[in-house]
C-alpha cells in the first residue's frame, strides 16, 4: 500500500532551498531603475535579472498581480507582472522574454554584483 505522501515528492523538492528550480539563470546585478504602475513611477534597485524576470527592492508598496513596466537599458520599458512581494522586495516576470542577443547587450552595460543577496 502506498503512502499518502508518495505522489507529493515535487512539493518537497520545491521547498528545498538548495534546489534551484528557476527556468533561467539569474545574473546578480546592482541597477537603479524605475517601474511604472497605473501611471506612477516607483524607484527600484534591481538585485538579480534574467531574460524572464527580475528581483528588486522597492518602497512602492505594489501588490502581487499588478501589471507594470520596468525600464532597462537597451530594452527600455518592458511589460511585466509582479509575482511575489516580501520584505520590501518583489519578484517580477516579464510578459515576453528578452531576446538572447538583446539580453547579452543589456548585461554588457550593467556591472555585476560582487556578492550574493
pLDDT at residue 107, as a whole number: 95
Categorize the per-residue pLDDT at 17 as very low, low, confident or very high, splitting at 50, 70 and 90.
Answer: very low
Q: Which ranges of the chain does DSSP label H, i.e. alpha helix?
A: 9-14, 100-109
User: Which phi-psi region, left, alpha or beta, contains residue 76 (left: φ > 0; alpha: ψ -120 to 50)?
Assistant: left
- Asked whether residue 116 carries a pLDDT value surpassing 90, the answer given is no
What cell numbers appear for 112 in the block? 555585476
Which one has a higher pLDDT value, 116 or 78? 78
- The answer to whether domain 23-109 has CATH 2.40.10.220 is yes
Higher pLDDT, 31 or 7: 31
Q: Tens of pLDDT along 53-107?
A: 999 999 878 999 999 999 999 999 999 999 999 999 999 999 999 999 999 999 9
Grid coordinates standing for 31?
541597477
**CA gap 9, 65 in Å, rounded:** 28
pLDDT at 117 over 70: no
Return the pLDDT at 50: 97
Sequence spans of domains, the chain: 23-109
Mean pLDDT of 105-113: 89
Rounded mean pLDDT of 43-59? 95
Contacts 24+ apart (CB under 8 A), 110-115: 110/29, 110/31, 110/49, 110/73, 111/29, 111/30, 112/27, 112/28, 112/29, 113/28, 113/29, 113/30, 113/47, 113/48, 114/28, 115/28
Q: What is the mean pLDDT of the chain?
A: 85
Amino acid at each position: 500500500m502506498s503512502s499518502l505522501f508518495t505522489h507529493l515528492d515535487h512539493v518537497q523538492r520545491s521547498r528545498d532551498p538548495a534546489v534551484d528550480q528557476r527556468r533561467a539563470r539569474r545574473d546578480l546585478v546592482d541597477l537603479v531603475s524605475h517601474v511604472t504602475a497605473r501611471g506612477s513611477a516607483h524607484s527600484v534597485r534591481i538585485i538579480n535579472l534574467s531574460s524572464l524576470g527580475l528581483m528588486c527592492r522597492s518602497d512602492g508598496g505594489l501588490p502581487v498581480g499588478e501589471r507594470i513596466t520596468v525600464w532597462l537599458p537597451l530594452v527600455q520599458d518592458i511589460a511585466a507582472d509582479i509575482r511575489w512581494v516580501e520584505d520590501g522586495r518583489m519578484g517580477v516576470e516579464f510578459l515576453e522574454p528578452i531576446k538572447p542577443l538583446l539580453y547579452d547587450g543589456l548585461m554588457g552595460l550593467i556591472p555585476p554584483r560582487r556578492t550574493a543577496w
